[in-house]
Amino acid sequence: MLIVEELHMLLLRPDGRIESAVSVNRLYGEVAAVIVDLALHGRVTVSAEKYPVVDIVSTAPTGNPILDTTLERLVPLRGKRLQSLVTRPKLDPLEVVVESLVVQGVLVRGERGFFGWGSARTPESDPAPEHVLRSRLAAVLAGTTAPSQADLALLSILQNLNAAHAILREECGGVSSRDLKRRIEDLTAGSAAGDAVAKAVNDAITAALVATMTPVIVAATIT
């Protein structure tokens, strides 16, 4: 399963609604996650500069509709800063991610909101994949399992969406939001589980999401 698919499972409540902690910022996280997936599949690179740039190194199809759809959408945007890309609705992988999870039997297509308004809900049909994922992340946070590339990416994205504690409240072992943040920072900075590509992408995602989220946080504080 792709990182972006695992992220979507974490962000989705069992009733098919997006968790309130990320209801506004889901786009940023899921675009970031699918770019990580593309990098790890050798289709894009993410530069290591202060304002990382995404470039395409191969347009060869991967055979995965989520990756191939996103790659096609990225072609005219090659060379753009990651900070810019994560905010672009055009790159939102939501529809293809949901379709993939429906095909896998993880989600089902449900009803729309009251009077048929809003987007259709996609409630969980098979809770097993998310339970396995959450158990895996709990073990990583507890230090009993070495983190994979996917684990590092998921934890980094959740933390930089300011949603890690809300989403992983049970998996973090009851620690405070501050302590969880410190634990994730230690993992993503010091783990040897990820290769150079994964580390570069995680660092870039952190820089991009921090830059993107800062105006949102400031505005919320002022109001």
pLDDT tens-digit map of 99-145: 999 999 999 987 655 444 456 789 999 999 999 999 999 999 999 99
The predicted model gives 72-81 an average pLDDT of: 94
What is the reported pLDDT for 205?
A: 67
What is the reported pLDDT for 8?
A: 97
The predicted model gives 34-39 an average pLDDT of: 93
What is the reported pLDDT for 188?
A: 81
φ, ψ of residue 81 to 5 degrees: the values are -70, 140
Contact 194, 149 (CB under 8 A): yes
Q: What is the CATH classification number for the domain harbouring 139?
A: 1.10.3630.10
What is the reported pLDDT for 118?
A: 52
Q: Which residue has the higher pLDDT, 209 or 16?
A: 16
Q: Which residue has the higher pLDDT, 198 or 8?
A: 8
What is the reported pLDDT for 52?
A: 83
What is the share, in percent, of the chain residues with pLDDT greater than 90?
A: 57
What is the reported pLDDT for 203?
A: 65
**CA neighbours closer than 13 Å in the CB half-sphere of residue 90:** 10
What is the reported pLDDT for 189?
A: 78
- Residue 15 structural domain: 3-222
0.85 surpassed by pTM:
yes
Q: Could you write out the DSSP letters of every residue in 106-142?
A: SB-----SGGG-SPPP--BS--HHHHHHHHHHHHHHH
Question: Would you say residue 196 has pLDDT above 60?
Answer: no
The predicted model gives 3-20 an average pLDDT of: 93
The predicted model gives 82-86 an average pLDDT of: 87
How many independent structural domains does the chain possess? 1
